[in-house]
Amino acid sequence: MEYMTNFDKLLKKLIFLVIIVTAVGLFFPLTSTSFGPWYASISKYIALSNNWSDLMLSNQDWLDKPHFPFWMAAISFKIFGINSFAYILPGFLFHLVGALYTYKLAKYLYNNETIALLACLIYLSVFHLMMSAIDVRAEAYLLGQIMPAVYYWLKYDQRFSLKYLLLGAFFTGLGLMTKGIFVIITIVSGLFCIWVYTKRLINVIHPKWILALGLSFAFALPEFVALYLQFDLHPEKIVFGHTHVSGLRWFFIDSQFGRFFGTGYIMSTAPMPFHELFFIHTFLWSFLPWSLVYPVAIYYSLRYFKRQDSSTKFATIFLLGNFWISFVMFSVTTFQVDHYTNIIFPFAAILSAKFMYDYAQSNHKIFTIQQGLALLMLALLGVIIGIVFHGLVLALLVGLEILAVLLVVKYWGQIPFVKAILLPVVAICMVHICYSIINGYLYHQYDTGYLAAQITNQHPEIAVVDYEFDSRALEFYVQNKYYRANNPADLPPLQSFYLVTQDKNWSAITANFPRAQLVGQVKGNLPEKVLPHLINARELANNLNTYNIILIQR
């Protein structure tokens, strides 16, 4: 008992460490390595215009995601100003809410503090969840909505309670306003499997659950109202090249079934061969450093299923149902993005924690594999640090790498179970720090939209025109009035404005505007043109484009 108490203290320290390491990303600028500048620009429009019903990007109506994440970021902008920190913070907090309810769900299922803490730690240290906490797509918010909803609906299934009903419906409603109606499948799939196993499938039409569904949609009413106001009331708007586009139809049909069956406005026109296997190989890197633990946990859970007591069987069915129904659903659709499966990782974390706890006193092979994986990650990271980084950043990362190695040495005498947890957590923390520095520090030096905004912001009273540039980073970071144009006819009728465009357009610009004045130049390119060449200065220089900031005076 004393040993496990000390181990619980270690788990709490590691949880705190991972939260701090992840939070480092709050203080790096948004870059074009993600969709962050896109979504931040939409939230910026809401905050500046106080138009809470319309989603606008580059002065165009935007219909691709529900409103909730943009509302949260806009509120944060109102409080902290329009900056990267304010955009990332709400999603990061929802990520932490997801961690809290992963802990609570594990505690409820197994009535074991150590398993609950370990599940929380695994959740927090999954590489792709650490990324999404600062990359901030819809999944960061969903983790803080789905996990509470799953927790309260599970308790609601056991015992009717107004508290569980209201909280379950509230968080489900938030999920609806974040991702759409398919989120309900992820939320209830575990319960559905329990109902099938216990022969209670009649619950699907039970008034108790019809009430729960109706109340969930009631909490999502703000989304329906906003979509109606922006689109259904304005059939003349052109969206996806069409008029008479219904926001409500998009929400209930096109955004979900359209993508699933490839019949909507946004679809994958050329799915990869064997795309059904996409999320299998994606899982191998996105669930690091626990990618190998979860398959083993599934194997042992099913192999010894008949020997389990009723409560453990209940938990096994519930967790596997929550994970695999959504996993299969994502796999069969032709529209696939790697972060889709993030929302089911907490269920994998809980089952993995249970397996590791059950074999804590053994010398299971997976523990040795986990230690080897962690050492391999640290070794490869050491090579990358030496090649990519220079100066003070190199010194900082070398120092952190040395600390990580010293920590490994300090705990090398522990039992395999402890080392199989400690070493991977330390390794993934180092990976995340390097990832954050590469994206938020190294790449942002070549993020042309960000760099151009630093020049135009010196005179925020002069409007900025993004000309054949199409940079969301520029749109987000400029303090100037922003316009976008792809040909001279689209230029705004202003007497003076900044034009941000590629250097190759300089001759054409001066021909049309003889008084054009070059006020600055920046060099950069898209992430895929920059990041692979950071280790080779000559190749990097060959992949950089020059962009001009031109003052146009009519």
pLDDT in tens, 122-159: 999 999 999 999 988 888 999 999 999 999 999 999 99
Residue 58, amino acid:
S
Residue 43 near residue 75, CB atoms below 8 Å: no
Does the residue 511 lie in any domain?
A: yes
Q: Work out the number of other CB atoms within 10 angstroms of the CB of residue 547.
A: 25
Does the residue 13 lie in any domain?
A: no
Which of 358, 392, 423 corresponds to the end of one domain?
A: 358
Shared-domain flag, residues 45 and 177: yes
Shared-domain flag, residues 404 and 516: no
The pTM score is 0.93
Structural domain for 77, as ranges: 31-247+265-358
Distances (CA, A) of 241 to 159, 236, 244, 255: 50, 11, 10, 16
> Residue 1: its pLDDT value, please?
43
Shared-domain flag, residues 435 and 460: no
Does the residue 8 lie in any domain?
A: no
Average pLDDT, the chain: 90
- What gap in Å lies between CA 427 and CA 379, rounded to an integer? 10
Shared-domain flag, residues 399 and 547: no
Does the residue 253 lie in any domain?
A: no
Question: Domains in the chain: how many in total?
Answer: 3
Residue 218 near residue 232, CB atoms below 8 Å: no
Shared-domain flag, residues 463 and 339: no
Shared-domain flag, residues 401 and 463: no
Residue 498 near residue 469, CB atoms below 8 Å: no
* Residue numbers in the chain where pLDDT is lower than 50: 1-2
Pairing outcome for strands 464-467 and 496-502: parallel
Q: DSSP string of 324-383?
A: HHHHHHHHHSS---GGGGGGGHHHHHHHHHHHHHHTTTS--HHHHHHHHHHHHHHHHHHH
